[in-house]
Amino acid sequence: MGLRRKARECALQMLFAADVAGSSVRPDELVRVYWKELGDAETDEAGREFATRIATGVMARLEELDERIRARAEHWRISRMAIVDRNVLRLAVYEFMYEPTPRTVAINEALEIARRFSTYEATQFINGILDAIKRDLDTEHPREEETTETEDPDAQPEVEE
């Protein structure tokens, strides 16, 4: 597994904990407790920094990210989505908007994480929503660096089924 994927999984776990705890938890406290009690000891400093940055970034921009998801999740309320699924979506949309990660890579990584932590049906659901949001953002804010190359040497391209 790639180091960045592991970092994304750590970020997902932080967001899951934040989602369950609700607004009673402060992001800085959540991050501190996560790395002290639950964080993977094999995650290097760069991975910890990346995981922390994207998790706290999602928490800081939750309404904006949820609005993007809500606009493309026809007939689905964010609160009715499985906790894992909504947080996988939030992480990917955050990367689309605030990280230099190629959007296609963010989708592939989100799907791999969903395969590990959710269901087959969820990966189809997540793929559909992320693809629609990617198209919206590609129209609104095209990126020159968008390629089919992956940023993570261990990441595998998504295969059409």
Q: What is the CATH number of the domain that holds 38?
A: 1.10.940.10
Instruction: Decide if 84 is inside a domain.
Output: yes
- For 76-88, letters b (16+ CB in 10 Å) and e give eebeebeebbbbb
Instruction: Decide if 37 is inside a domain.
Output: yes
Instruction: Decide if 153 is inside a domain.
Output: no
Instruction: Decide if 53 is inside a domain.
Output: yes
94-138 residue pLDDT tens? 999 999 999 999 999 999 999 999 998 999 999 999 999 999 999
Cβ partners under 8 Å of residue 102, min gap 6: 143, 145, 146, 147, 148, 149, 150, 151
CB-CB contact of 54 with 9 (8 Å): no
Residue 120's pLDDT is what? 87
Going by C-alpha positions, the residue among 19, 116, 114 that lies closest to residue 62 is 19
Instruction: Decide if 107 is inside a domain.
Output: yes
Instruction: Decide if 148 is inside a domain.
Output: no
How many domains in the chain?
1
Instruction: Decide if 15 is inside a domain.
Output: yes
Residue percentage of the chain with pLDDT more than 90: 73
83-106 residue pLDDT tens? 999 999 999 999 999 999 999 999
Domain range spanning residue 44?
3-140
